[in-house]
Amino acid sequence: MNHSLKALTEKEFFIKQLTYIDENYQDLNGLYLSSSPLKKRRKDFLSIYVREVEQYIAFCNQAPAACGKYWLKQR
């Protein structure tokens, strides 16, 4: 595991993952769309994206102050 990632808390790492997805949505979507039948690829990609967003929302509901702080710090 990358040394810089070891230093991150789980919450910070999760925010980094979401930020990466947010900033690279088109590229990630393209990768999924080029690797399997179109409808399945789109469904799989969107389900992963939705799951990440749902986890982020759950995290925000549990720790709203930390959520805003970490999200804004990453933007």
Pair of tokens at residue 23: 């900033």
Provide the residue count of the chain.
Answer: 75
pLDDT class of 15 with cuts at 50, 70, 90: confident
**3-class secondary structure, 66:** helix
What does the pLDDT read at residue 71? 53
What does the pLDDT read at residue 1? 45
| Nearest-angstrom CA–CA distance, 42 and 50 | 12
Q: Burial level of 70, CB count in 10 A (0-12/13-18/19+)?
A: buried
Helices then strands, each counted (H, E), the chain: 5, 0
- DSSP code, position 8: S
